[in-house]
Amino acid sequence: MSLVITRSRSFVLQSNETLLEGLERTGHCVEYQCRSGYCGSCRTRINSGEVEYLSDPLAYIAQGEILPCCCVPVGTVSLDVGTEREYEQDAGELHAQSELGL
Ligand code: FES
């Protein structure tokens, strides 16, 4: 059983899902295209913990990044991922700041 901690939520990954599928099921916003480790679209920052790849990914990832479409956590992981609502709030705050010239 793996616990996934994100910016504002936590959930347990189900045994039959990838990390990307678990993030989608719980309302998180993650870009994706191939869902197979080729394109790199799902590249995500990992704050702590480790993941195991189901097959070796071909997309480039830097240290501190993972491809959630093709991995599962090994134990508890903390990710820099938010929900769509959180990203909308962030965008709204940035827009308000730019309107004020900040
Ligand atoms: S969606 Fe393409 S590498 Fe994850």
Give the mean model confidence (pLDDT) for residues 91-100: 74
**CB atoms near residue 57 (< 10 Å):** 21
Mutate which of 30, 31, 34, 71 for ligand 1 pocket (most atoms within 8 A of beta carbon): 34
Residue 97's pLDDT is what?
77
Q: Which atom of ligand 1 is nearest to the CA of 32?
A: 1
User: Domains in the chain and their CATH numbers?
Assistant: 2-97 (3.10.20.30)
Distance 69 CA to ligand 1 centre (A): 6
Write out pLDDT tens, residues 52-79.
999 999 999 999 999 999 999 999 999 9
Q: What percent of the chain is predicted at pLDDT more than 70?
A: 98
Question: Per-residue confidence at 17, pLDDT binned at 50, 70, 90?
Answer: very high
Neighbours of 94 (CB within 10 A): 11
Residue whose C-alpha is closest to residue 59's, from 43, 73, 80, 44: 43
Residue 34 CB–ligand 1 contact under 6 Å: yes
